[in-house]
Amino acid sequence: MHLVADRLEKKFGAITAVADVSFTAVPGQVLGLLGPNGAGKSTTISMLAGLTKPDSGCVTIDGVTLGTGADPTKRHLGLVTQEIALLEELPARMNLEFFGGLYGLRGRPLASRIASVLELTSLADRAGDPPSQFSGGMRRRLNIACALLHEPQILLLDEPTVGVDPQSRNAIFDTIEVLAGEGRALVYTTHYMEEVERLCDRIVIIDHGKVLADDSLAGLLASTAVSNKLTLKYDLPPDGVALTEIAQLAGVTQIDLAGTELSVSAADLGTAAPRVLERLAARGFSCQELTSRRANLEDVFLSLTGRTLRDT
Ligand SMILES: Nc1ncnc2c1ncn2[C@@H]1O[C@H](COP(=O)(O)OP(=O)(O)OP(=O)(O)O)[C@@H](O)[C@H]1O
Ligand SMILES: [Mg+2]
């Protein structure tokens, strides 16, 4: 099923949480909603889930507008909220029975769904223990399991890996990949670039409640003016003449010198790097160390917002 956010807007008093957000989540794909703290991710998710009514714009599921009341269209949605909501002192299995009951599941079908979500989230051996005895990662996995009981075609996950150990994080990624492989549409919010790079087929970058970019990782890298980088350390800082020559080489887009470290940006490192090295060697500068790195989402974010996601 397709989930469409169409020009969503939401204010809280004088604060505009979401100013203009539109995107489409499609079956079989993970859409990453990436933005810093306060960007409007959770408010967007809450509108997508039909919990918060937009001031303007609407959410549609396969063309049907989602209401905020007891709308049957909501059955297609599963929501994993940023704040974990569990019955802390009841065994995991009873948590699942409780949440399944809210979706009208009972008896054998419920038991079979519980077995299946416990398996999917790798919690089958801990079903008898209460979440109060779980690690952060296990609690998060149980929270996800609860949202999957009614087999939603669309799953909304709000920062599901915050406070989660690496093992649980990988288990969560595996679960997400299985769900996408089954043809479900997923919306995944995070402020971790690496997660988006690894998991998401499509990336929507939001900041101050507005969509700044909406594309695949490859598309974002191609459309923003970000470059691959070569970093060279020399015994002596290259002089002005050498630097001018490097800056003028074909394919070199930018150079920066910090002490004896020269960084060179280029669209194609394979062709630019040998030219840079040759030119500096010809000028008598001896390279001590050389590293290169491809442009990444961090560079895209910096180019779009003028700051890094980590400082926000
Ligand atoms: N119920 C509310 N009442 C008042 N302001 C709110 C409310 N909910 C959100 N806001 C404000 O709206 C803005 C967006 O908040 P939101 O929670 O959607 O951001 P977020 O991207 O999810 O951030 P985080 O990464 O910290 O979870 C913030 O400035 C926040 O303070
Ligand atoms: Mg949030």
Q: What is the pLDDT along the chain (312 residues), one digit of tens a residue?
A: 999 999 999 999 999 999 999 999 999 999 999 998 999 999 999 999 999 999 999 999 999 999 988 888 999 999 999 999 999 999 999 999 999 999 999 999 999 999 999 999 999 999 999 999 999 999 999 999 999 999 999 999 999 999 899 999 999 999 999 999 999 999 999 989 899 999 999 999 999 999 999 999 999 988 876 778 999 999 899 999 999 999 999 989 899 999 999 999 998 888 999 999 999 999 999 999 999 988 889 888 888 888 777 654
Give 5-9's long-range contacts (Cβ < 8 A, gap of 24+).
5/44, 5/47, 5/48, 5/57, 5/59, 6/57, 6/58, 6/59, 6/60, 7/56, 7/57, 8/44, 8/47, 8/54, 8/56, 8/57, 8/58, 8/59, 9/54, 9/55, 9/56, 9/57, 9/209
- The reply to whether 113 and 246 lie within a common domain is no
In this structure, which residues have their CB less than 5 angstroms from ion ligand 2?
41-42, 82
Question: Phi then psi for 293, rounded to 5 degrees?
Answer: -150, 145
Instruction: Look at residue 296 in the predicted model and tell me its pLDDT.
Output: 87
What tokens appear for 238 in the block? Answer: 């290259």
**Whole domain around residue 232: which residue ranges?**
227-294
What is the token pair recorded at 186?
């997923």
Number of structural domains in the chain: 2
Decide which of 167, 191, 216 is a domain's last residue: 216
Same domain, 153 and 274: no
Does residue 173 lie within any of the structural domains? yes
Specify whether 138 is located in the same domain as 41.
Answer: yes
pLDDT number for residue 311: 55
Interval between CA 42 and ligand 2 midpoint (Å): 4
Distance 190 CA to ligand 1 centre (A): 14
**301/196 Cα distance (integer angstroms):** 12
Within a domain: 32:
yes
Tell whether 136 and 237 lie within a shared domain. no
Give the residue, by CA position, lying nearest to ligand 1 atom 28: 38
Contacts for 150 with CB less than 8 Å, ≥ 6 apart: 75, 78, 100, 103, 105, 113
The residue whose CA is least distant from atom 26 of ligand 1 is: 37
Specify whether 66 is located in the same domain as 203: yes
Q: Are residues 84 and 7 in the same domain?
A: yes
Indicate if 123 and 174 belong to the same structural domain.
yes
Ligand 1 pocket (Cβ < 6 Å) reads: 12, 15, 17, 35, 37-43, 82, 191
Ligand 1 pocket test target in 11, 20, 42 with most atoms within 8 Å of CB: 42
- Atom number of ligand 1 nearest to Cα 36: 25
Residue 150 and residue 204 share a domain: yes
- Both 200 and 61 in one domain: the answer is yes
Q: What is the pLDDT of residue 306?
A: 80
Q: What's the gap in Å between 246 CA and the centre of ligand 2?
A: 45
Domain end call among 216, 235, 255: 216
Q: Is 291 exposed, middle or buried (CB count within 10 Å of its CB: 0-12, 13-18, 19+)?
A: exposed
Coil, strand, or helix at residue 144? helix
In a domain, 302, yes or no: no
Same domain, yes or no, for 110 and 146?
Answer: yes
Same structural domain, 102 and 182: yes
